[in-house]
Structures are given as C-alpha cells and as structure tokens.
C-alpha cells in the first residue's frame, strides 16, 4: 500500500536522527506527549466513553496511568543506566595474547509498528505502553488505530504529533494510520522492510497471525504479542478450610471487574472437591447472582463472549453454577456466569482450557492434590497464576509452585491477578500462548528492552564513542567497568 510505504520510508529517515537524540531530549518529548494528552481534557474522556462503553471513572484512571507510563519512561531516560553499559578495558600486556578494549550498550532497532488494543483505549493503544517504550528506546513508531475507538485514537495521535512539533523531534518519528482496511494495512505494516518490530495486545488469533507474517519475511522480525490467558487460581485445602467465604467474595469482584474484559481476568479456578470448596461455591454463586450486567466494549466482543461462553457451557460434564439474576437493559451487556466441571472431564477436553473473554469463570473440581497437580501439568502458558494458600502449604507443595512458576509470567500469592502495576518488578507477559515471547514484559520500564539490541564497540577512539561508553562517563550513569559497578 502506497500510504504505508510512504510513512515507513519517512520513519526510516527519522530514525537516522532520532536514534542520536539524547536521553534527556527524548524525556522532554515523552513528558510533552503526557502534557498534550492531559490538555485534551474531558473531550477525550467523553469521546472514549461514547466509543467503548467504558465508564468515566475507569477512563480517567486509565488516562492517568497512560500519563504515568510516559513520565516513567522519561525518568528512565533522564537517569540513563537502562542502556546497560558494559566496559572491559584493554590490557596490552596480557599473556598469551593482549586484551582489546570492548564496550557494549543497548541501541534502538528501528521503526516499531504498534497495534492498538480494544479494551484499553489509552494505556495499551495509541500512546500506550508499546508506543512509550519504543519512543523511549529511540525507535520511531507507526500506530494502527483500533476500529473500536477510532476517534479516540485520532485525538491521542494528534496530541503526540503536537508534542513532536513542540520539541522539534524529526518529522516521521510518529505516525498514525486509521483503522480502515484493517487486515491489508496491518499486513503491509508487518511486511514492510523498514518495520523492525511489532507490538500488539489482543486476541490469540490476531497476535499469532502477526507473528506468522513476521516470520515469513525475508528478514524475520520480533513480534511482541500479548494475547491473554485464563490466569488459573489454585485453591489450596488449608487456606480454604480457614478462609473459603472471604476468598469467594474477593474473586466474585475480580471475575466481574470491568465486565471481565481484562487479559488478567481469573477465568479458571481449581480446587479440591470437599465441603470447603462447596462453601466457596455457595458464596461465589450468591455474589455472582447480584452482579448487575454491564455493557461490553463493542458488539464484536459481546458476540465473541456469548459464543465462547455458550461453547464452554455446552460441553459434556459442564454445570452452570450461577448466573446473574438481574436482567439486561442493553443487548450487548455481559451477564456474569460461573460454571464447574470435574477434573476428569477437564483433562480430556482442551476446549475447556481456552479463554472466555468476559465475566465468566470455570471451577475445576479435583479429587485430591495429586489430580490438581495433574491438571496444572496440562495448562498452557499464562500471564498470571495465583495460589490461594497458607505459607506452610507453599513449603510442602513445592511441585505445584514450580509448575505454576514455569507456566506463568507473574505468580500471585493470596491476591487477585487483575490490576497490573506499572513498575520495574512487573512482568506482564508469559510463556506461549500468553505472549509470543515470554522473556519480555509489556508493562513497566523494562518494556523498553523489547525494542533494543546489544551492540559492541571494539578499540574505538574515545571521542567517537557514544557518551554512555566514554571513559570519563559524562552522563554519570551506572556502568559495569572491568566487572565492577561504578559511576
């Protein structure tokens, strides 16, 4: 497509300049984007409300998170140590051969194509985490707006472009493509030779399609697709004996938070069948019956929720335990639903292992800890896994902890998976199929690592080295010099 080609060639030219701009200048750029988004005021919030059916309070919070993300990456750039500078100085007298001078740091990879998410119109979309981390890394960004909030995306894109102009960034460092002709635009973006990486948040089908395209290129490129998961919650017997009712209250809220439209929604609950699990089920069912149906993001997501929920409930051995008793007032409202199934059936039916995106959770009833462990061994990669347990149960069930650690990006203890903190210690990404590369996070400052690569300079004159690697450390950043951390 000619439009995509023109934009990508302009981005490639911008990269030649942008990659050399200092961290402090890029930090000013990111802070200016944050200011421009905030300056859009309630008009942006109202537009997003109209397009996504999300409530005002949720969108105000998400806008705040988006601004916080941009400022967090600005802080990272101002401090500077994120480049992971490594210096091994020369030793001409080393025997049997002299040692050369080697200096290494992280450098940007080039233009990044970002695909906006439907369920987070700010934080995971046009100026969200993918865009912020790529720009922070020194990479131009081309965003394909999501059709579910096209006007919102266009408004945010204009804010970014205003910031480009205000801070004198290179023309082409950011571009926004409207959502029309979705598949063809997306394919053209991924296949263009100037695209060097892809960021995506959404369905498994969409993320896997982008991943497959990228690997069909003459020059394969990394695709960082976050594709959701069922986020299993394990109810350990000692914990349930003491706290079943409270756990049920907590999870009734987590399952239905945001109409279940979070990639960390607890869609699978696994416990041992006994009176304590029944107590849990009774309280959970009572709470679910009281949940007021709420409007989902759009008609497509609602239809997908209904289809996948119906498919799960139609499977042999699945029992519908609880459904909200409050009638819908709008067709595309999601009705909270809890179902259960025996572990014997679950183990034989892969359909029940799949995500139902919305206010739905499946409870798997196991005969004992041995069968519970067997169920865990059949689960695929997850964004999160949660243990509701006592500390002594963690100590005596090391195998269960190890299995969950191996299949999840974030292992939770006596908490809920919903709610993703933006910080260094957050890991939002897990083994496939939760994401296409579980080594990286899409949330927090470490997300910058997706869009860089290590590069070494050997025996370079000091004057020609990047400031990050010069002998006198003009940026005053932490570096590892001859195996010791120092400024």
Span 385-414, pLDDT tens digits: 999 999 999 999 999 999 999 999 999 999
The answer to whether 381 touches 437, Cβ cutoff 8 Å, is no
Whole-angstrom distance, CA of residue 31 vs CA of residue 15: 20
Instruction: Determine the pLDDT at residue 238.
Output: 97
Is the pLDDT score of 339 beyond 90? yes
Give residue 426's Cα distance to chain centre. 10
Reading the block at residue 175, the tokens are 């571009």
Half-sphere exposure for 431 (CA within 13 Å, toward CB):
11
Q: Where are the beta strands (DSSP E) in 308-379?
A: 319-323, 333-334, 337-342, 360-366
3-state secondary structure of 232: strand
Reading the block at residue 43, the tokens are 């008009």
Share of the chain above pLDDT 70, in %: 99
Mean pLDDT of 420-442: 97
Span 228-279, pLDDT tens digits: 899 999 999 999 999 999 999 999 999 999 999 999 999 999 999 999 999 9
Q: Which of 263, 287, 393, 468 is catalytic?
A: 263
Instruction: Determine the pLDDT at residue 470.
Output: 98
Instruction: Determine the pLDDT at residue 180.
Output: 61
Q: Hey, how many other C-beta atoms are within 10 angstroms of the C-beta on 425?
A: 9
Instruction: Determine the pLDDT at residue 179.
Output: 63
Reading the block at residue 443, the tokens are 């949330």
Mean pLDDT of 21-50: 98
- Hey, what long-range contacts does 337-340 have (CB within 8 A, 24 or more apart)? 337/288, 337/309, 337/313, 338/255, 338/281, 338/284, 338/285, 338/288, 338/362, 338/363, 339/312, 339/313, 339/363, 340/281, 340/364, 340/365
Is the pLDDT score of 153 beyond 60? yes
Instruction: Determine the pLDDT at residue 228.
Output: 83
Beta strand 484-486 pairing with 479-481? antiparallel
Is the pLDDT score of 217 beyond 90? yes
Whole-angstrom distance, CA of residue 343 vs CA of residue 378: 11
Instruction: Determine the pLDDT at residue 152.
Output: 97
Reading the block at residue 466, the tokens are 């990047």
Instruction: Determine the pLDDT at residue 178.
Output: 82
Is the pLDDT score of 304 beyond 70? yes
Q: Give the chain's mean pLDDT.
A: 97
Q: Is 226 annotated in the active site?
A: yes
Mean pLDDT of 67-93: 98
Mean pLDDT of 365-369: 98
Please report the domains of the chain, with CATH numbers, ordered by start residue: 2-227+438-486 (3.40.605.10), 232-413 (3.40.309.10)
Whole-angstrom distance, CA of residue 186 vs CA of residue 206: 10
Q: Which of 226, 273, 287, 355 is catalytic?
A: 226
């Amino acid at each position: 497509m000619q439009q995509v080609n023109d934009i990508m060639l302009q981005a490639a030219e911008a990269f030649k300049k942008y990659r050399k701009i200092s961290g402090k200048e890029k930090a000013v750029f990111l802070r200016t984007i944050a200011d421009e988004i905030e300056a859009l005021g309630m008009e942006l919030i109202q537009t997003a409300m109209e397009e996504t059916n999300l409530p005002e309070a949720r969108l105000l919070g998400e806008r705040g998170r988006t601004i916080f993300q941009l400022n967090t990456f600005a802080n990272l750039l101002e401090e500077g140590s994120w480049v992971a500078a490594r210096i091994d100085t020369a030793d001409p007298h080393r025997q049997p051969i002299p040692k050369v001078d080697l200096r290494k740091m992280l450098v940007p990879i080039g233009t990044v194509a970002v695909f906006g998410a439907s369920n987070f119109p700010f934080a995971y979309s046009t100026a969200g985490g993918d865009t912020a981390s790529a720009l922070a890394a020194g990479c131009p960004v081309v965003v394909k707006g999501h059709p579910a909030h096209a006007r919102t995306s266009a408004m945010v894109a204009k804010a970014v472009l205003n910031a480009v102009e205000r801070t004198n960034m290179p023309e082409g460092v950011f571009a926004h493509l409207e959502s029309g002709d979705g598949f063809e635009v997306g394919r053209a973006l991924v296949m263009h030779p100037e695209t060097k990486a892809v960021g995506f948040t959404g369905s498994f089908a969409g993320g896997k399609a982008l991943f497959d395209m990228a690997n069909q290129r003459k020059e394969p490129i990394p695709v960082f697709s976050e594709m959701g998961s069922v986020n299993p919650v394990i109810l350990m017997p000692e914990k349930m004996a003491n706290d079943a009712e409270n756990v049920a209250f907590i999870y009734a809220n987590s399952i239905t938070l945001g109409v279940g439209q979070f990639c960390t929604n607890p869609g699978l609950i696994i416990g041992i069948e006994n009176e304590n699990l029944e107590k849990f089920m009774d309280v959970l069912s009572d709470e679910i019956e009281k949940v007021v149906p709420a409007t989902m993001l759009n008609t497509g997501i609602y239809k997908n929720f209904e289809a996948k929920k119906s498919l799960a409930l139609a499977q042999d051995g699945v029992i519908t335990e609880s459904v909200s008793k409050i009638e819908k007032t709008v067709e595309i409202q999601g009705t909270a639903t809890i179902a259960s199934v025996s572990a014997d059936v679950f183990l034989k039916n892969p359909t029940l292992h799949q995500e139902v995106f919305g206010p739905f959770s499946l409870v798997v009833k196991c005969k004992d800890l041995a069968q519970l462990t067997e169920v865990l061994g059949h689960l695929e990669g997850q964004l999160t896994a949660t243990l509701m347990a006592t500390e002594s149960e963690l100590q005596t069930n090391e195998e269960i902890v190890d299995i969950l650690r191996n299949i999840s990006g974030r292992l939770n203890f006596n908490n809920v998976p919903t709610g993703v903190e933006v910080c260094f210690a957050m890991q939002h990404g897990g083994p496939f199929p939760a994401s296409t590369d579980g080594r990286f996070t899409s949330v927090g400052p470490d997300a910058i690592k997706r869009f860089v690569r290590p590069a070494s300079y050997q025996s370079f004159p000091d004057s020609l080295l990047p400031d990050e690697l010069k002998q006198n450390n003009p940026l005053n950043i932490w570096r590892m010099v001859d195996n010791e951390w120092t400024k």
